[in-house]
Amino acid sequence: MCRNITELRGLEPAATPDEVEAAARQYVRKVSGIVKLSDANREVFEAAVAEIAHVTRHLLAELPPRKQPPSTVPPLRRPEVKARIAARAAGASTAGS
């Protein structure tokens, strides 16, 4: 449905609560069409995010282990992955000079 939601099942290390919430938030944004929160929709939006995150944590805990990790291991938003990508990019830009 939404290509921006990272697969969370089978990650090593396991998905963090922040990653579960980010995926829930992206899902609720996509389904609701809400891009910017207002006072009129904030409460129901945040309640939906909390409920989806709760269900997602339960789902991930109950599923059997994956036979093969997802192709996005680890998710690109993890700080250590961002740092590695930035270091690689910095090395490539200095190598070309």
Q: What is the pLDDT of residues 10-55, one digit of tens each?
A: 877 788 898 899 899 999 999 999 989 999 999 999 999 999 999 9
Query: What confidence score (pLDDT) does residue 74 get?
Result: 63
Query: What confidence score (pLDDT) does residue 53 get?
Result: 97
Query: What is the C-alpha separation between 6 and 11, in angstroms, rounded?
Result: 10
Q: Amino acid letter at 6?
A: T
Percent of the chain topping pLDDT 70:
81
The three-class DSSP label of residue 80 is: helix
Q: Which backbone phi and psi does 21 adopt, to 5 degrees?
A: -65, -40
